[in-house]
Amino acid sequence: MSGIIFLSTKDLESITRFYQEKIGMTTWLDQKSCKILQHGNLLLGFCEKDHSDTDGVVTFFFSTKEEVEQHYKMLKEIVTSQPKENPRYGIYHFFAKDPEGRDVEFQSFLHPVLPFETSMETLVQRRSIREFTAQQPGEDVLNSIFETCRFAPTSMNTESYYFKIIKDRETIELVAGVRGSSSSPIAKAPLAIAICSDPHRSKRHVQDGCIAAYHFLLAARAHGLGTCWIAAMDRDDVKQALGIPQDHYVATVTPLGYPASKPKTPKRRNAVDMVQEL
């Protein structure tokens, strides 16, 4: 289920321009006298009326304090407060005014929250994380991730994949050392997860395991957690350390934890440069 918040405006053109140019919202649907704008999973509709709705607060929230501060710098001419921590609600925020006098809040939560990103945001913003905080992901978060991962597709629905949670510090350090610097990020996280598959359940167990592994990376990102695909972990020493049968396949052993920082977006090819037609 999804929803839209509609507000009345006396100046549809200027208020639309403000939220697009100043806030970065995009047009989700243009209904002429009503324009529905999108920012992440927020759908905000403005409809042309003879009065403007200015009660309440329009709140945009971001993953980090740094993003809040960036918006503060961009909107300095219309802000009504400075960024600060609010211990009552566990947020970092500031307020501004839109052209019709509505209160607009920009905030980030100072604690983990349940998934909120759109599927497109998760796909576009997932990054390889190699530095983590010491905070342990809660059992409820892990259970939610694995609940999502059970829908990963497999050949003929054989469900040949499975996950091994690695919490023992000595084992984490051992596995982190098998490939030198390539596997060392595993030791930087409070947990590690081995994503495996059983060849006795599927003739396509390698593909099943890799699909399940990427499903896990995306689900972890949606829950605010960082991961990193560590390649070439289908090794005898890794399997022995983790109690995995030697004929089973290890797609990856990924570190898992809350990112210590948000990596910058790398430069990417344009879609036209990677799509070919026959």
pLDDT for 2: 86
Q: Both tokens of residue 85? A: 């921590």
What is the mean pLDDT for each group of 10 consecutive residues in the chain (278 residues)?
94 97 96 96 97 96 93 96 97 98 97 90 94 95 97 97 98 98 98 98 98 98 96 98 98 97 88 91
Task: Domain ranges for the chain, please list them.
Answer: 5-109, 124-256
Neighbouring CB atoms inside 10 A of 15's CB total 21
Q: Going by DSSP bridges, is the β-strand pair 161-166/34-39 parallel, antiparallel, or unpaired?
A: unpaired
pLDDT for 1: 76
What dihedral angle (degrees, nearest 10) is formed by the CA atoms of 221, 227, 232, 235? -110
- Tens-digit pLDDT profile for residues 39-75: 999 999 999 999 999 999 999 999 889 999 999 999 9
**Domain 5-109, architecture per CATH:** Roll (3.10)
Q: Both tokens of residue 185? A: 């990020």
Q: How far apart are CA 149 and CA 208, in angstroms?
A: 12
pLDDT for 25: 97
Helix spans in 77-133 (H): 119-125
pLDDT for 266: 87
CATH H superfamily, domain 124-256: NADH Oxidase (3.40.109.10)
- Tens-digit pLDDT profile for residues 32-47: 999 999 999 999 999 9
What is the side-by-side order of every strand in the sheet holding 249-256?
A: 161-166, 191-197, 249-256
Q: Which residue has the tokens 């321009």?
A: 17
Half-sphere exposure of 171 (CA within 13 A, CB side): 17
Contact 102, 19 (CB under 8 A): no
Q: Give whole-number Cα distances, 185 to 129, 134, 212, 251, 264, in Å.
A: 8, 13, 21, 16, 18
**Which pTM was predicted?**
0.86
pLDDT for 176: 98
